[in-house]
Amino acid sequence: MGVSFDKIDGFIWFDSKLVPWAEANVHVLTHGLHYASCVFEGERAYGGTIFKSREHSERLKRSAQILDFEIPYSTADIDAAKQQVLDRNGLPDAYVRAFAWRGSEMMGVSGAANTIHLAIACWTWPSYFDPTERLQGIRIDLAAYRRPDPRTIPALAKASGLYMICTISKHAAERKGYAEALMLDWEGRIAECTSANVFFVRDGTIHTPIADCFLDGITRQTVIDLARRRGIAVIERRIMPDELSGFSECFITGSAAEVTPVSEIAQWRFTPGALSKQLMDDYSTEVRAKGKRVAA
């Protein structure tokens, strides 16, 4: 393991101030810890510019509203704070985490009057998966937990409580030697991985699940756009597990995962091919070209 995340040397933006990393603390009786009243974003910076920073800030604000609280900063304020953290820590290529939560004024289930806090950190995170394994295609387990019916949870918020079953599922997968876990939805259809969206390829066409009980990821949207720019058809539809044997390629997408090919999901096998490689390259070009355009 590397350095513990509470011992990194740097600065964190915390409620409008840049504070030394070790001083960015909250009380143990904070509502966000006990009742999961916390929302967050995972973003990447390339060449000193955060890719689609505004889209991430807007989603952070929407997620908070779904959880019934308002972040007391505008999207422009959040964008500026993220850039300030990136610049102060001197990390042109970094993972950026912005998160907001209810404070400690009330510890019952109801925390409507609690102070809303916002913090932003960044750190070096070259690849979410082992680089060699990533190029060959990662191996994915099939999770026991399923994405719940969106009538039972705030499925379209990027909220900390929704990741509880993701952590459990990823731990179970890693114990069996897999890098990730694929989750079905409450009706047994393909949904997403624990922290990434999933795509499949058949006869040059991309198929991906409809994002209505999980996040329509910003990286997912970007990759769909990149594919369509190349004239590649992308079909968003319901996909059942018994269809997986009919797909030739599979890849997953996310801010942390970027575009990562898959070689195996449980008993199903895939061969990372030309289309997956093309979209990996296109995404890499897009995120860095976007940064150059913004900087200019």
Question: Do 263 and 140 touch, CB atoms closer than 8 A?
Answer: no
What does the block give as tokens for 123? 């750190």
Active site residue 61: no
- DSSP-derived letter for residue 160 is G
Q: Which of 52, 61, 158, 170 is catalytic?
A: 158
Residue in this structure with the two tokens 């030309």, named with its chain if needed:
274
Question: Do 137 and 261 touch, CB atoms closer than 8 A?
Answer: yes
Alpha helix (H) residue ranges in 115-260: 131-136, 164-175, 218-229
C-alpha pair distances (Å), 190 with each of 197, 200, 242: 10, 11, 10
C-alpha–C-alpha distance, residues 276 and 195, integer Å: 19
C-alpha pair distances (Å), 294 with each of 83, 127, 196: 12, 24, 26
**What is the set of active-site residues?**
158
